[in-house]
């Protein structure tokens, strides 16, 4: 049996496994949730409402009701409306970053308040 192991190279395989198991694996560090930490330090607790299935409702309902107020929408298109709103929101944030932040990244004093054109952006969201 030892002759068979030597032919197959099992001894070399075991040595390789032992060497790699001694090396430390890179692990992911702890997750830091800045928003939660900031809210906790301000002692400002948010109320989370849940629907009949136990899922939190807030932002999605607010977005959909806002869109419903402006347009006549079939309730069956809710998923599509929310997906489109998400895509538009990400595109808008990217556009703000490329237009206002990247050209002036060496001047942090300009980032204290939102641009006048976008005064509807609340200060806490801007930060």
DSSP-assigned states of every residue in 79-111: HHHHHHHHHHHHHHHHHHIIIIIGGGTT-GGGG
Q: Are strands 56-57 and 49-50 parallel, antiparallel or unpaired?
A: antiparallel
Determine the pLDDT at residue 83: 92
- Residue 96 CB contacts under 8 Å (≥ 6 apart), including other chains: 118
Helices 78-96 and 59-70 cross at an angle (nearest 10°) of 100
Contact status, residue 56 vs residue 49, Cβ threshold 8 Å: yes
- Residue 14 CB contacts under 8 Å (≥ 6 apart), including other chains: none
Query: Which tens digits make up the pLDDT trace of 95-107?
Result: 888 988 888 888 8
pLDDT, mean of each 10-residue run, the chain (127 residues): 53 53 71 71 76 77 87 90 90 87 82 79 79
Question: Domain map of the chain by residue range?
Answer: 2-126
């Amino acid at each position: 049996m030892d002759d068979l192991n030597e032919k197959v190279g099992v001894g070399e395989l075991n040595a390789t496994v032992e060497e790699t198991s001694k090396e430390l694996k890179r692990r992911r560090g702890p997750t830091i949730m800045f928003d939660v930490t900031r809210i906790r330090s301000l002692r400002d607790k948010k109320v989370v409402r849940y629907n009949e299935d136990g899922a939190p409702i807030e932002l999605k309902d607010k977005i959909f009701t806002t869109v419903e107020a402006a347009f006549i929408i079939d309730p069956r298109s809710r998923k599509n409306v929310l997906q489109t709103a998400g895509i538009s929101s990400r595109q808008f944030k990217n556009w703000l970053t490329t237009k206002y932040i990247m050209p002036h990244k060496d001047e942090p004093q300009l980032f204290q308040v939102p641009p006048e054109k976008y005064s509807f952006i609340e200060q806490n969201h801007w930060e």
